[in-house]
Amino acid sequence: MSSYISLPMFAGSLGQRVRLEAARCGNCGTLVYPQRPQCPACGSTDFATEPLSGEGSLYTFTVIARGGAPAEFDDQQTMTGTIVVGVVELREGPRIIAQIADADPESLEIGTPLRAVLRRLYDQEGVVRYGTKFTPVAPA
């Protein structure tokens, strides 16, 4: 199993993957993430790029056991054993599927506050791919 993404496609989505950029519809104001060519609410193609805060909470999650993730994550699973993947509900509303890093799966629960961090995802075609993961916010 593989989640192959060509280098040009990966590079074309860096705003979303690395900077957490969404699109705000100029017609109806809907925040669209991931960005699409057309607003799902009104059909407009008029968008302005808007940065997302990277702050949110855990909506749901799962733990992927050894061998269950795409081949690109073999090295990570060799080092960590499991990969935690969750749906993160951002403060602005969109939900993002991402890895949850630096967290013991036993300590996670729905509603855990999370923050986006830029991390190495995997190597593909000799290029290190970076992207957004989320880590729990330490209690104040």
For 86-117, what is each residue's pLDDT tens digit?
A: 999 999 999 998 989 889 889 999 999 999 99
- Tell me what pLDDT residue 29 has: 96
Give the model's pLDDT for residue 4: 55
Domain of residue 74 covers 7-136
* Backbone torsion region of residue 15, taken as left when φ is above 0, otherwise alpha when ψ lies between -120 and 50, otherwise beta: alpha
Per-residue confidence (pLDDT) for residue 138, from 0 to 100: 80
Domain total of the chain? 1
**Does 112 map to a domain?**
yes
Q: What percent of the chain shows pLDDT beyond 90?
A: 45
Evaluate whether residue 2 is within a structural domain.
no
User: Is residue 27 domain-resident?
Assistant: yes
> Is 121 inside any structural domain?
yes
- The overall average pLDDT reported for the chain is 81
Any idea which of 1-5, 51-55, 120-124 has the lowest mean pLDDT? 1-5
Q: Which of 18, 16, 20 is nearest to 36 (CA)?
A: 16
Across 10-126, the runs of DSSP E, i.e. the strands, are 21-25, 31-32, 47-51, 55-64, 83-90, 95-99, 113-124
Q: If 0-12 CB within 10 Å is exposed, 13-18 middle and 19+ buried, where does residue 2 land?
A: exposed
Q: Phi and psi of 55, rounded to 5°?
A: -105, 140
Question: Does residue 1 sit within a domain?
Answer: no
